[in-house]
């Protein structure tokens, strides 16, 4: 069965709060993302929620699982862009306090379609 697809892109830089010690910050900071949702089906679907999190602790930041709720209608054969924000924990900073290491995110999107729930998994490797 066909299902909607989701891609994710990071749309803002990670701007850690500098502690002065040169170590990675312990303060969570906001990061913005854009979700591109495409519906290949012959009928509309409604995006009801998206959960995203980082995979492992080896990239530039750590993001615990976050859930965003929606009631976004996606028309048949249509595409929708949605902006979301999540708070992340910087893990690796350069000596200038920048987070430049790529991260791997995984997520799950849930849709309602004709009384049924459709679940779509997605991943993204995001470079800073």
Mean pLDDT of 111-125: 95
Mean pLDDT of the chain: 87
Domain total in the chain: 1
Report yes or no on 50 lying in a domain.
yes
Q: Would you state the pLDDT for residue 97?
A: 59
pLDDT 10s digits, 34-86: 999 999 999 999 999 999 999 987 778 899 999 999 999 999 999 999 999 99
Report yes or no on 127 lying in a domain.
no
Q: Would you state the pLDDT for residue 57?
A: 74
Residue-number span of the structural domain to which 40 is assigned: 5-14+24-122
Whether the Cβ atoms of residue 8 and residue 31 lie closer than 8 Å to each other: no
Report yes or no on 114 lying in a domain.
yes
Q: What's the CATH code of the domain at 96? A: 2.60.40.10
Report yes or no on 43 lying in a domain.
yes
Report yes or no on 116 lying in a domain.
yes
Label residue 96 by pLDDT band (50, 70, 90): low
d(CA 68, CA 113): 19
């Amino acid at each position: 069965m066909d299902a909607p697809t989701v891609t994710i892109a990071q749309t803002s830089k990670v701007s850690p709060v500098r502690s002065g010690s040169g170590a990675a910050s312990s303060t969570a900071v906001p990061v913005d993302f854009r979700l591109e949702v495409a519906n290949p089906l012959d009928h509309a679907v409604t995006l009801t929620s998206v959960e995203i999190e980082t995979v492992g602790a080896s990239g530039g930041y750590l993001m615990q699982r976050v859930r965003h709720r929606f009631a976004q209608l996606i028309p048949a054969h249509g595409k929708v862009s949605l902006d979301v924000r999540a708070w992340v924990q910087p893990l690796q900073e350069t000596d200038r306090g920048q987070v430049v290491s790529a991260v791997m995110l995984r997520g799950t999107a849930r849709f309602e379609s004709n009384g049924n729930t459709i679940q779509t998994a997605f991943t993204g490797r995001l470079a800073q």
